[in-house]
Amino acid sequence: MRQNIVIAGDLTFINLSEIFQLLGANGITGTLHIMSKYAETPGTIYFQKGNPIDAVVGSITGLEAVYSLFGWIEGSFEFVKEPVATARTIQKSRMEIILDCTKMLDEGLIEKVSTVSFEKTTDEDSGASVIPVVKGPLVDYMYVADEEDHREGDIIFKQGRHGNWSWVVLDGILEIRRETPGGQIPIVRVGTGAFIGSIDAFLSQSSVRSYTVVAVGNVQLGVLDSQRLSQENALFSVNFRSIIKSVDKRLKQSANLICDVQQNKKKADDFLSGKEQIIKQGQKKNDVSFIEQGTAYITRKTNRGDLLLARLDDGDFIGKLPFLDLGQEPHQASVFASEDLELQPVGLEELQKEYNRLSATMKNFIENTSAIIATITQMAYELGDS
């Protein structure tokens, strides 16, 4: 353990610009260490009397390293108060760096390193952005049983087929598509660190694929160790297993969402007549409940009217889980209830403890699934709002 640690914390609660200002205001000399499970190597910034004088992350040094570290929006840090003998390579003041990085982040010039990062693929003819690529964290090879290489156009699995294999993307990009009577519709793309397959499949012998997955260019996949993950899933409590099944259900429904918006299907107004609003979009509500009876409708307001995001029933949950961000209720969606809806409150503390005990791979799988749901939800909202 490092000595003389005077400040440490989580980057989701205090970002790098705030850390810079705090260290500058106190004129401290020492070393700032930054760690992220989404980066292969930690970052280090050296401070002299509150100003950064040098930095290193991987093979990058100096000001360029500082700029890249401002993209680490998730992770942890600690500042060690100690003499610094490093030569000064950074001439800009801390406030100049903060202003530069704020602008560069807004303009997308600094890559964000977090649970999921978004890139835009480009249509060669129009130059317009087409579809985001959802990435995941660093791959834990302990859970990779085998590796596969695929070429452009290879089908990893096809909608409607049965199967319980799952993969993690080691390199390259996959496209998730929905089969419709009018042809295939691209839903979203996933890149390095993302997971393909169903978490729920580890809880059953086989599941039906709700979408088609195709390789975009050359792709290397890691086949996940299904036996190892099944053994971990077998230890889930009844409540946690229900959460996993419900998240997987939302993923399957979200595969239809973009298609429904594009084809003007499933208008929420058709479902909401006579339904009671029990959670209002934007409401500060931090509890979670299981549905014991009835139906809940998750909706989001757009310029075209309410957009139906999910239809949930017996065994599903509604509300905001502390360890997941689905991009839905309560902050970004409302919940309407059928007349016979009955709810059972969930003990969040026990769920959080159980989540904390999961392997890194299982956590990453769950987080990445929720990130894909949130991305598709946002894409559908933007389409519905245009």
Give backbone dihedrals phi and psi of 370, rounded to 5 degrees, phi first: -65, -35
Across the strands, what pairs with 171?
Answer: 220
pTM, rounded to two decimals: 0.78
**pLDDT the model gives residue 128:** 42
Query: CA-to-CA distance for 81 and 62, rounded, in angstroms?
Result: 20
Query: CA-to-CA distance for 208 and 205, rounded, in angstroms?
Result: 11
Mean pLDDT, range 174-202, rounded to an integer: 88
Residue in the block written with tokens 């310029």: 303
Does residue 127 carry a pLDDT above 50?
no
**pLDDT the model gives residue 325:** 86
**How many Å separate Cα 304 from the centre of its chain?**
27
Does residue 263 carry a pLDDT above 60?
yes
Per-residue pLDDT band for 3 (boundaries 50, 70, 90) equals low
Per-residue pLDDT band for 132 (boundaries 50, 70, 90) equals confident
C-alpha separations of 64 from 39, 44, 89, 208, 305 in Å: 16, 12, 11, 47, 45
Per-residue pLDDT band for 126 (boundaries 50, 70, 90) equals very low
pLDDT in tens, 204-250: 656 788 899 999 999 999 999 988 988 898 899 999 999 999 999 99
When the pLDDT of each residue in the chain is averaged and rounded to a whole number, the result is: 88
> When comparing pLDDT for 39 and 155, which is higher?
155
**Which H or E run contains 373?**
helix 360-385
Per-residue pLDDT band for 115 (boundaries 50, 70, 90) equals low
Contact present, 134 and 375 (Cβ < 8 Å) = yes
**How many Å separate Cα 290 from the centre of its chain?**
23
161-191 burial by CB neighbour count: b if 16+ within 10 A, else e? Answer: eeebebbbbbebbbbbbbbeeeeebebbbbb
Does residue 68 carry a pLDDT above 60?
yes
Point out the least confidently predicted range of 46-55, 61-70, 302-311, 333-342.
302-311
Length of the chain equals 386
Does residue 114 carry a pLDDT above 90?
no
**The two three-digit tokens of residue 383, written as one number:** 């389409």
**pLDDT the model gives residue 1:** 47
Please name each of the domains of the chain with its CATH number. 5-106 (no CATH), 118-385 (2.60.120.10)
- Number of Cβ within 10 Å of residue 326's Cβ equals 23
Does residue 67 carry a pLDDT above 80?
yes
Query: CA-to-CA distance for 293 and 291, rounded, in angstroms?
Result: 6
Per-residue pLDDT band for 129 (boundaries 50, 70, 90) equals very low
**pLDDT the model gives residue 303:** 81
Mean pLDDT, range 355-371, rounded to an integer: 91
**pLDDT the model gives residue 164:** 84
Per-residue pLDDT band for 119 (boundaries 50, 70, 90) equals low
Number of H helices, E strands in the chain: 8, 23
**pLDDT the model gives residue 203:** 64
Across the strands, what pairs with 293?
Answer: 342
**pLDDT the model gives residue 59:** 93
Does residue 20 carry a pLDDT above 50?
yes
Query: CA-to-CA distance for 75 and 35, rounded, in angstroms?
Result: 6
Torsional class of 291: left (φ above 0), alpha (ψ -120 to 50), beta (otherwise): beta
